[in-house]
Structure 1
Amino acid sequence: MAAAGSLGVYKAAFAVLGVLMLGTLVYTCVTDGSPFRLELLTPWLVATLIDFYVNVTAISTWVIYKEVNWISSFFWVVLLYCFGSVATCAYVVLKLFEIKTSGPSQDPLDLLFLRQGNLSQRKSSFVIIGRIIFSILGAMMAAVVIYTVITDGLPFRKDLLTPWMAATLLDFYINVFAISVWVAHKESNWISTAIWICLLICFGSITTCGYIVIQLFQVSYQDPIYHVLLNTHNKKI
């Protein structure tokens, strides 16, 4: 019953967020026109878009792992890069509806995060590649933020909050929410969970990349790669 209840909460939360983001996109298009205009590309919007797409890359990595074939993986990754958190929410809700818990003690988030059926046993090469890629992405994003602060000043200015910047920020933070669900599931106590979520909110994909790299360094070469997704008290599947 508890598992079914939590599944319902997650379904409702991601469905509402997806609809909210879709409505925001439609409203912003109607009131402010197309987003494909050069005058919209202020330095901080460019930095925000890079931040956004680094997080999308992290989510896409999970989707590629989760999907059973390359065609569906490619399809969802394209949707994620084109439609952002709308696609994220749609994918999560779809996968939540596919979950069938086998008992009240089974954590539905384990079933959400892991590939169903044949769990991947791929090990060291994927861990090493992941460490390298997300270290580079995190360092790149940190450099982008520092450069933008130096050349364009701090981002906390009212003139930067254009309609499309506001829509982009909402899109960005819905994806941050999705990543935060994994972080909350992964962490062993509420203090570390709160710290990491605050860092995600404040530093975006820099924190995402840092967190992923830390988790990858905690996985030994003998462990299956899916151990990265599990919480610290549930390493046995």
Structure 2
Amino acid sequence: MAISLVTFLRILFGILGSLMLLTLVYTIFSDGLPFRTDLLTPWMAATLVDFYINVVPIAAWVIYKESNWIRAGLWIVLLICLGSLTTCGYILLQLMKLSTKESEDPIYHVLLCHSNKYSVVDKHRQSHVLIARVVFAALGLLMLGTLIYTLLTDGSPFRKELFTPWMDATLIDFYINVTALSVWVAYKESSWVTAVVWIILLICFGSITTCVYITIQLSRLTCQDPIYVALFKSGDRAESRSEGVLI
């Protein structure tokens, strides 16, 4: 019997969350706590910038999903502190909440917020879209500048001495979040060729690609569109407007 998409996603994020937990525990026991100045090399700092820029769109989605601002704030604190472990836990929780009918299109229903916390139509949608475009464009430029600066001042990142236990753990953390973003990209893109190209770019250029991709999606919104419709592929956008909330 062919495995369903929802089952595959539950297994995938369950395995990735377990991998990150084991990596975190192993690295703490083998290399101590990460709060040491000797670990913060230029490339570690650049990797952390890359990591946390990728956390921004995930945090924005969590804010959209959660009906309670306190609960949303707690999830964001966990995202900042525990990274992809929280990402996997949150996605698994959303997948487990799906009904049998919703499981037929799990990514759409996991992305969608059914809450009415923004049930009043916002009259300033256009400014929100413009602000989001500026924010992600600025974050992309920040990462590009960080990458160029670190290359010029500290040389290539492909050096054996840079791969300390905590750098390895950070890279695993980073690429688990990239996997979550890649699932979204694969859902968004109508062509598998295009999706694969974007995913390869995500793997190679990290949050620079994330910011470029999100900025492109936001540029496709009209002045009348709420920001959240950028989450959905074009065929699901009309349905998301009727089922979702307006922000």
Asked if TM exceeds 0.5, the reply is: yes
Distance change in 2, residues 1:103/1:137 (3 Å): closer
TM-score when scaled to structure 2? 0.91
TM-superposed CA distance for 1:231, in Å, is: 1.3
TM-superposed CA distance for 1:124, in Å, is: 1.8
1:188 maps to a residue whose letter is S
User: Please, which moves more after superposition, 63-72 or 161-170?
Assistant: 63-72
How many angstroms apart in 2 are the aligned matches of 1:103 and 1:168? 34
Gaps of 5+ in 1: none
User: Please, which moves more after superposition, 188-197 or 4-13?
Assistant: 4-13
How many angstroms apart in 1 are the aligned matches of 2:187 and 2:102? 18
- In structure 2, the residue matched to 1:112 is 110
**Offset from partner CA, 1:31-68 (integer Å, 9 cap, x none):** 01111100011100000001000001111011111111
Moved segments of 4+, more than 4 Å? 119-122
Tell me the secondary structure at the aligned position of residue 215 of structure 1: helix
TM-superposed CA distance for 1:129, in Å, is: 1.4
Q: How does 1:92-103 map to 2 (within 5 A)?
A: 92-102=91-101
**Offset from partner CA, 1:83-137 (integer Å, 9 cap, x none):** 0000000000001111114367x52111001112438555323211111111111
Distance change in 2, residues 1:226/1:119 (3 Å): farther
How many angstroms apart in 2 are the aligned matches of 1:233 and 1:56? 27
Task: Select 2:191's aligned residue among 183, 189, 192.
Answer: 189
Query: Contact between 2:129 and 2:226, CA under 8 Å: does it hold in 1?
Result: no
Tell me the secondary structure at the aligned position of residue 236 of structure 2: coil
Query: Contact between 2:67 and 2:115, CA under 8 Å: does it hold in 1?
Result: no
Equivalent residue pairs, number: 235
1:98 maps to a residue whose letter is K
TM-superposed CA distance for 1:218, in Å, is: 0.4
TM-superposed CA distance for 1:195, in Å, is: 0.7
How many angstroms apart in 2 are the aligned matches of 1:137 and 1:69? 27
**Offset from partner CA, 1:161-207 (integer Å, 9 cap, x none):** 10000000000000000001110000110011011000000000010
Task: Select 1:218's aligned residue among 209, 217, 220.
Answer: 220
- In structure 2, the residue matched to 1:139 is 141
TM-superposed CA distance for 1:6, in Å, is: 1.2
Identity %, equivalent residues: 53
Gaps of 5+ in 2: 240-247
How many angstroms apart in 2 are the aligned matches of 1:25 and 1:98? 27
RMSD: 1.8
Query: Contact between 1:113 and 1:229, CA under 8 Å: does it hold in 2?
Result: yes
Tell me the secondary structure at the aligned position of residue 236 of structure 1: helix
- In structure 1, the residue matched to 2:155 is 153
Query: Contact between 2:139 and 2:211, CA under 8 Å: does it hold in 1?
Result: yes
2:181 maps to a residue whose letter is I
TM-superposed CA distance for 1:222, in Å, is: 1.2
